[in-house]
Amino acid sequence: MNRSEFIAGRLREVYLDGRWIANTNYKEKLSATTWQQATQKVGELNSIALLTYHINYYLRGLLQVLGGGALEIKDKYSFDMPPVNEDKDWQALTAEFFSNAEKFVAAVAQLPDQKMDEHFVDPKYGTWYRNLEAVVEHSYYHLGQISLIKKMLTSRLH
């Protein structure tokens, strides 16, 4: 297995079907979350919907780069989520997230292994491998937040 396939496997685990590191994944966690839970704030924490939007924002931007486009995403816009006011808004957000996750995993798996040692867009960002590993870490970080927020919300009901 080359590094592209390895990273794609780690991405698939965190987004779609893994249980090894976190004992859950985004698809499992978000599919079992209602739009009311997704938009409910717990103190000063971000909502589950906002964290979902945030990760999807980066997936969209990275898919653009993987498709040969420019890197146009900016951290300052990564939390500019349109309102989620009803179930159809939440379903649309999660459907786009899962679709982008599938596309992202597939695109990463197809990268030639030598690409992993090349600069990602600009030398200041380091290599493709470093950036893709950072995507995995960033994704697990926010999955942990989502899991804790969900526990806090469900414990309030009991």
- Which residues lie across from 119 on neighbouring strands? 127
Tokens of 50: 């906002």
Domain count along the chain: 1
Range of the domain at 78: 3-156
- Which residues lie across from 127 on neighbouring strands? 119
Q: Would you say 117 and 127 are in contact if contact means Cβ atoms under 8 Å apart?
A: yes
- Domain at 15, CATH number: 1.20.120.450
Question: What's the confidence (pLDDT) of residue 130?
Answer: 97
Q: With a cut of 70, list the residues of the chain below it in pLDDT.
A: 157-158
Location of structure tokens 């992202």: 104
Question: What's the confidence (pLDDT) of residue 157?
Answer: 59
Tokens of 90: 């939440």
Question: What's the confidence (pLDDT) of residue 19?
Answer: 85
Task: Name the nearest CA neighbour of 55 among 29, 36, 86.
Answer: 29
Q: What is the pLDDT of residues 59-81, one digit of tens each?
A: 999 999 999 999 999 999 999 99
Location of structure tokens 């839970």: 37
Q: How far apart are CA 69 and CA 46, in angstroms?
A: 30
Question: What's the confidence (pLDDT) of residue 22?
Answer: 78
Encode the chain in three state secondary structure: CCHHHHHHHHHHHHHHHCCCCCCCCHHHHHHCCCHHHHHCCCCCCCCHHHHHHHHHHHHHHHHHHHCCCCCCCCHHHCCCCCCCCCHHHHHHHHHHHHHHHHHHHHHHHCCCHHHHHCECCCHHHCEHHHHHHHHHHHHHHHHHHHHHHHHHHHHHCC
